[in-house]
Amino acid sequence: MSLRTSILRAAAPALALLLTACWVPLERGRQMEARLDRLEADSAEQQRVVADRVAAVDRKIVEVQQKIDELNRAARRSGADLGVSLQRLQDEFTRVKGDLEVEQHRLGQLEKSVGALSDRTDKRFAALRGRGALDELEAKERIDTLERPDDKVSFLALAQKEEATGDKSVARTLYDEYVRRWPADAMAPEAAFHSAELSMEQKRWREALVSYGWIYEKAPRSERAPDAMLGIARAMLEVDELKKDAPGVLKELVAKFPRSDAAAQARKLQADLAPKKPRRK
Per-residue pLDDT reduced to its tens digit, 109-132: 766 665 555 555 444 444 444 445
Helix, strand or coil, per DSSP, at residue 182: coil
**What CATH number should be reported for the domain holding residue 37?**
1.20.120
Residue 8, domain member (yes or no): no
Print the domain residue range for 40: 26-129
Is the pLDDT reported for residue 252 higher than 50? yes
**Quick one: pLDDT at residue 245?**
94
CA distance 198 to 89: 69
Q: What is the mean pLDDT of residues 204-215?
A: 94
Report the percent of the chain where pLDDT is more than 70.
59
Nearest 5°: phi and psi at 20? -100, -25
CB 7 within 8 A of CB 232: yes
Residue 13, domain member (yes or no): no
CB 248 within 8 A of CB 213: no
Which residue stretches of the chain are H helix?
Answer: 3-16, 26-74, 80-129, 131-145, 152-164, 168-181, 188-201, 205-218, 225-236, 246-256, 261-273
pLDDT digits (tens, 9 = 90+) for 67-96: 666 666 655 555 555 566 666 666 776 777
CA distance 34 to 127: 14
**What CATH number should be reported for the domain holding residue 197?**
1.25.40.10
| pLDDT top residue among 66 and 257 | 257
Which range of 40-49, 180-189, 267-276 scores highest in mean pLDDT? It is 180-189
pLDDT bin (cut points 50, 70, 90) of residue 268 is very high
**Quick one: pLDDT at residue 222?**
97
**Residue at a domain's end among 107, 129, 151:** 129
Residue 74, domain member (yes or no): yes
| Count of domains observed in the chain | 2
pLDDT bin (cut points 50, 70, 90) of residue 271 is very high
Residues 144 and 266 in one domain: yes
Is the pLDDT reported for residue 211 higher than 50? yes
Residues 54 and 76 in one domain: yes
Is the pLDDT reported for residue 197 higher than 80? yes
